[in-house]
Amino acid sequence: MKFVGALYSVHCSRKAITDTHRSEIHSSLLISGSFISMFSPFLDPYTKEERFYIYLGYLTSRGCYIITITVTLGPRYGISLSFSRILYLIVKSIEAVLTDPFHPLASIMVSMICILLTDLAECFWLKIGLGSNVQSELPPEVVREIVNRLHTFQDFVAAAGVSRTWRSVCLSISRRPQLPCLMLSETLSTDMRHFFSLCDNNRYQLLLSEVQGKRCWGSPHGWIVTLGPDYETHLLHLTKRVQIALPPLNTIRTLAATEEWFRLVHKFILLNDPSQESSLLVIAIFGPVNRLAFARVAFDRGGEGAALNRRGQGQWAIVTNPDILKFNDVACFNDQLYGLCDNGKLVCLEFDAPLAAEVQVIALQPSEEEVGMPQKLYLMNSSENLFVMRHETICFLVYKFNFGALAWEEVTDLEDLAVFVGDGNSWCIHTSAISNCIYFTDDNWEWQRHPGVACGGRDVGVFSMARRLPWLMLSETLSTDMRHFFSLYYNNRYQLRLPQVHEKRYWGSPHGWVVTLGPDYETHLLHLMKRVQIPLPPLNTIRTLAPIEEWFRLVHKFILFKDPSQDSSLLVIAIFGPVNRLAFARVAFDRGGGGAFLNRRGQGQWAIVTNPDNLKFNDVACFNDQIYGLCDNGKLVRFELDAPLAAELQVIAPQPSEEEVGMPQKLYLVETSENLYGIFRYGFHIPSKMRHETIYFLVYKLNFGALAWEEVTDLEDIAVFVGEGNSWCIPTSTILCRSNCIYFTDDNWEWQRYPGVAYGGHDVGVFNMAQRLLQNLSISCSGFELIDYLGFFFGYIKRKREKKKKKKKKKKK
């Protein structure tokens, strides 16, 4: 190997690339098939090193492979060699180069010295044999990693313009994570569309005359589906501007004859056909009963004829659906198509097996108690999991499919996923920039009467899985069942039809559940997002102790906890009657064997806490798995629910001196992961205006060493929520709430004579601890008057607390 010898001499010393050696290489003979060329050294402006390139080429019948050897002459590295890229050029272009002396590539050929290489494999042997020291140019897999980390679509496209290696790398990245773009709707008459990139928050314009006057469905493949008033459907690639006509919709139209064009198909879903590469599967969910049809689109790449006679080629094939399942979404996972039907039934779809059943039920829907009445369902695959989303305008619930147990499991964390749901494909990407969020667009065309009049189009937003709190539920007159919710995080208002709270009184909690009490003395637990209702035990025992109270004044406060002694069950505590007595009940969720705890106190009935000293309870909190109550004017007691022999109540700390606290109107007990706070609320009544006004708060912290209350003036980074229901707080580092604040709602039902007449309900606001100031809740909604917002706060903070506890446990260890 003459060539190897020459290179080794280059490697030996810097002198090696003096003219003598170069001429030595020059003197080699051109033998057809292989060549080598060398460029004079140049100074790299960035690394301050001298470099030159040697191109080593090998011609085959299919093309030409070129290996670039970079020789770096630097103060640090001495001489190093690297084989960095192998390019594939089409033979024709090489021939062109050889004949055209002014062609840019011809410079390679000018100083071309060819040597004999018997096989390309020897080049690779050379690579190993020479052992490059430092690779000045990065291998494609590393380039791929770098390109993958570019945040914007713009950078990504530009990177494809750097060189051929980079282009091929960019093309090989199939998921293109940097390009979630939101296509904004416009009036039907314009053909300029705006795109909003979610990663760099930039807006791009694209002239798209093809979508003018049409309805569009998006997908993560770059293709969109358009449907025009003439019932013509097209596939359109947004960046390449290629348009492919889809088969005519005749078969679909015969099955849904009365539908208007823009409501004919609810959803077009684009998938890569699992059974055949380089072809797309277009799935349509259409008609009044959400039937399913599909068509195959093959891209012309060589011999396509083989697949021509398959179902759905050139026409829409209707999926037979004997059980009349109502399809909501379809996703492809592990080369298998899955559909989501009805309220969460998962089915497996088989399009090409004429003998097997086309639709096969895999998993039944989750129990109605768990999911309630979702408005929309979406199905998507990440690389490992199948997810289902339930969209309820104000909230999303996410379920993951457990393929082992063939059942849905609720998840509260999407980790590094960002999910996109709306009209078209439901899809998700792994990303660190915008993770753990659900991006949603309007998906309510069935309510739309006329095309183009944006009846919807406004229901667009982001739902952060980690930040689903806190909410303020606004009160309404008793006769309506429509409730308004105000998100303190998004500063936005949402509507929810809640017939379950109609003419009832309700109490909030941070667990997503609320307690309702009706005029018939029936109490229920209601999950506001899932719309699930669980009856609580009858109030008989409580009513015998407070016989003369009216229904809406019987119980002052319902407090909800996770039962500390038992996972997956809730503890409901009621403060009731004229002397504020305490009762509790346990609610177990049916998950496997619940029987074991059936004979515990409070299971299936209200148990009254014995209270020999007639303490007047104001609030209860659960701190470190112990239940504490705040009595009278600040006395702290701890009580045991399950120890029949020990005293149920145990006084922990006496109340602060009367001079200090005076006569607080309301007391609340709030726990953080480290501290227990007593909050004293002061205010007065204005009988003429029939309202109550809060003027001041005092906050005390329990000193566990001295077992006494200590006044604090600073709540640090927490925001406290007090009112009728649970008193709770959250660290504001996790949300955008004001920190060091107490959010309060009205809590004065004992002054109320009639249900529904909002005697109170006006006493809502924020108390700023730092400035000692009362502020209004900045509820800024256009076209919305807050006449009375008798409400309460609720949220969904299960996960956060659990995490904190775990951390604490670790510390202890």
> Which of 166, 463, 558, 677 contacts other proteins by CB under 8 A?
166
Per rule CB under 8 A, is residue 191 in the interface with other proteins? Answer: no
Collapse the DSSP code of 126 into the 3-class scheme (helix H, G, I; strand E, B; otherwise coil) and give the result: helix
Helices within 555-652 (DSSP H only): none
Sign of CA dihedral 769, 771, 774, 778: negative
Q: Of 24, 44, 50, 693, which one interacts with other proteins (CB under 8 A)?
A: 44
Q: Which of 65, 153, 427, 744 binds other proteins (CB under 8 A)?
A: 153
Which residues is 547 bridged to in the sheet? none
3 state DSSP class of 602? coil
Considering the complex, state which of residue 209 and residue 275 has its C-beta at the smaller distance from other proteins. Answer: 209
CB crowding 370-392: b at 16 or more within 10 Å, else e? bbbebebbbbbbbeebbbbbbbb
Of these, 111, 163, 276, 673, which contacts other proteins (CB under 8 A)? Answer: 163
Check binding of 460 to other proteins (CB under 8 A): no
Nearer to other proteins, 26 or 48 (CB): 48
Least distance from C-beta 76 to other proteins, angstroms?
6
Residue span binding other proteins (CB under 8 A) among the ranges 4-12, 42-50, 620-628, 739-747: 42-50
Contact set for other proteins, span 400-419 (CB under 8 A): 416
The secondary structure of residue 71, as a DSSP letter, is E
- Token pair belonging to 66: 């070129």
Q: Which is nearer to other proteins, 469 or 636 (CB)?
A: 469
Stretch that binds other proteins, among 16-24, 71-79, 377-385, 801-809 (CB under 8 A): 71-79
Residues numbered 113-142 forming contacts with other proteins, rule: CB under 8 A: 131-139, 141-142
Q: How many residues bind other proteins (CB under 8 A)?
A: 55
Instruction: Pick the closer one to other proteins by CB: 15 or 76.
Output: 76
Taking the complex as a whole, how short is the minimal distance between the CB of residue 771 and other proteins, in angstroms?
25
Min separation Cβ 72 and other proteins, Å? 9
Stretch that binds other proteins, among 74-82, 305-313, 365-373, 522-530 (CB under 8 A): 74-82
Query: Which residue, 450 or 810, is less far from other proteins as judged by CB?
Result: 810
Closest approach, Cβ 811 to other proteins, in A, equals 17
User: Distance between alpha carbon 34 and the CA centroid of its chain, in Å?
Assistant: 55
Mark out the alpha helices in 310-416 (DSSP H runs): 368-371
Coil, strand or helix at 600? coil
- Least distance (Å) from other proteins to the CB of residue 70? 8
d(CA 527, CA 367) in angstroms, rounded, equals 14
Q: Which is nearer to other proteins, 158 or 184 (CB)?
A: 158
Beta-bridged to residue 205, according to DSSP, are: 194
- SS3 state at 183: strand
Q: How far is the CB of 163 from other proteins (least distance, A)?
A: 5
**Residue 768 and residue 759: Cα distance in Å, rounded?**
25
Query: How are the residues of the chain apportioned to helix, strand and coil, as percentages rounded to the nearest 5?
Result: 15, 40, 45
Do the beta carbons of residue 675 and residue 702 sit within 8 Å? Answer: yes
For other proteins, the closer CB: 132 or 448: 132
Q: Residue 421: which of 450, 398, 401 has the closest Cα?
A: 398
Interface residue with other proteins, options 30, 43, 90, 162 (CB under 8 A): 162
Answer for the pair 447, 241: CB distance below 8 angstroms, yes or no.
no
Contact indicator for 706, 699 with CB cutoff of 8 Å: no
Q: How far is the CB of 96 from other proteins (least distance, A)?
A: 10
Pairing between strand 63-74 and 49-59? antiparallel
**Toward other proteins, which CB reaches closer, 145 or 714?**
145
Tokens at residue 209, please? 């005359």
Q: Which residues bind other proteins (CB under 8 A)?
A: 44-49, 51, 70, 76-78, 87, 93, 104, 131-139, 141-142, 145-166, 204-206, 239-240, 416, 432, 435
